[in-house]
Amino acid sequence: MSRKQKRELWRILSAAGALVVVVLLTHWLEWPWWADLLCYLLPYAMVGWDVLRDAGRGVINGQMLDENFLMGIATIGAFALGEYTEAVFVMLFYQTGEWFQRLAVGKSRRSIAALMDIRPDSATVQRGEEWIEVSPDEVAVGEIIRLQAGERVPLDGVVVSGESTLDTAALTGEAMPRAVAVGDGVISGCINQSGLLTVRVTQPFGESTVSKILALVENASERKAKSETIITRFARVYTPIVVAAAVLLAFIPPIFAKHYLAAFPDWLGRALNFLVVSCPCALVISVPLSFFGGIGGASKQGILVKGGNFLESLSKVDTAVFDKTGTLTTGSFDVVSVKSEAFSESELLLLAVSAEQHSSHPVASALKKACADAVFPEISDVFEFSGRGISATVSDKAVLVGNQKLLLEKQIPFTPETDFGTQLYVAVDGQYAGCITIADRIKPNAASAIADLKTTGVRRTVLLTGDRTETAEAVATAVGVDDYYAELLPADKVDHVERILADSRRAVMFVGDGINDAPVLTRADIGVAMGALGADAAIEAADVVLMDDDPAKLALAVRLARRTMRIVRQNIVFSLAVKIGVMLVSAIGFGNLYAAVFADVGVCLIAILNASRTLKIQ
């Protein structure tokens, strides 16, 4: 509870105590009516002065049709009718409800703030021979920073010395720490759990992961969901209508009574009840809070939703379209098989990697990773065949490593392989020696992620890739997507998504991670980017970012979005049902101000507590 909330609670309790004293005094003492009025005005002013002040400001600014105006006019009308106790108690009840409401909203906001409390306050940077502590935004790209155990990583960078484990839960939602060593990348916002690390900074603070995440969450509220904007527009039209209806209720029915002046107070009371009930604060407050809580709950799981409108779109997804590389696959090449009759697997790998050891091609990187501990022999006469392969002399052996085109060009007989992946053929001294298959491995949970997504109601899944048809077919079969389209350029992907959008009944979600995915991410109803490995352009274009690149989070994101929308609909239906019921009861004379305030403040408080459930993950 904040200091301001404590002061407000003390004011409410003091006004309640004053009301009890006034009720006892006026019961025991025979005072004139004006003395009773003055006594009741004391607790009324204690608890309601700010409501009257805000109502007055609203009238001056031309924005009087809000809850303050409605409560002010209703309680002043009760005083005019001689219902002093009821007027003060209603204002007291209203302020008590507002206090609980602010307490609930504050708790929700603090919960979300705690989830995103990942901004580091300082960085220890090497300047000359000294280590000095500075603000992270003062550290330049290329400088070296030091991370002690327990410190939060202030900037993105690459480890230059030391080994440790990183707690990435604040960013990815994963409880399992990630091991890092020399050469591994680290992202800001993580916590160094064990060893001492020195890191070379690769991104300025303004472009670091933590800054981007905070910007996404802070800007999310500016992108209102359709339900949210509808409720806001509804309140602007609805409130003037009910005020006009209350005025007509107060002045028109008494005309048909035998004595207008005798009937007028009764109808005025009904109109005042009608006014109090009519306030749409339960909808105006609880609906945005539901989306705010849904975004916060998702962020706790490493799912960053950029706005309430995207959360609403995510709840309607019935078609999911996937990129392949980096989305359903790991995005890094590995040796998956080695076939040779003339050499052992290790011998063939060593010959191939020796020839490729100075190459920076992804295929060469995969070979080096497979022979990380090998001692390479001397090589000479290295020659690269652009787009086809490489030749070199390795330990007096003429080694040729490349694709089918290279071996056909050199007229070396070989047997083509059809395994999933990229085939690397090896010839030694002009004779075919064997084949090494390198593939981008499918993520271990990709198939289960697709299956889980279908259980949420997603009726169709599609794979779009620029890779070969054979590779696309193999991946599509392995992970269980319904359709696939291969050998696509970025513009082709957009065309396919356009056709899928035309066929979709509801919303289309595209999941990708590369720069070439940015146009499709923008075009789809909801674009989801992989945040750990994804390109900056893809993350910027996306509406949702998965911070740990885990496709299993897609089904969770859809479930969270749908749960949020269920809570939004519950609040809308509940609020309108109670309000309309009490408004009708008040109009026919069976209601009072107490019921009216419950229908306003009580319903609002219940709706807010219900909206707070969106913060809890189920």
Active site residues: 323
The DSSP 8-state label assigned to residue 599 in this structure reads I
Give the residue among 329, 336, 334, 361 at the shortest CA–CA distance from 435: 336
CA nearest 571: which of 226, 315, 291, 312?
A: 291
Pairing of strands 431-442, 460-464: unpaired
Contact (Cβ atoms closer than 8 angstroms) between residue 414 and residue 407: yes
Largest CA distance in the chain: 121
Please name the helix (run of DSSP H) or strand (run of DSSP E) that holds residue 19, with its range, or none: helix 3-28
What is 115-128 written as a DSSP string? HT----S-EEEEET
As a whole number of angstroms, the distance between CA 124 and CA 147 comes to 7
HEC-encoded secondary structure of 220-275: HCCCCCHHHHHHHHHHHHHHHHHHHHHHHHHHCHHHHCCCHHHHHHHHHHHHHHHH
User: Which residue in this structure is represented by tokens 């001397």?
Assistant: 378
Element (H, E) at 411: none
DSSP strand pairing (389-394 vs 379-385) = antiparallel
CB–CB of 537/520 below 8 Å?
no
Nearest to 351 by CA among 435, 412, 415, 440: 435
Read out DSSP for 313-359?
A: HHHTEEEEEE-STTTTEEEEEEEEEEE-SSS-HHHHHHHHHHHHTT-
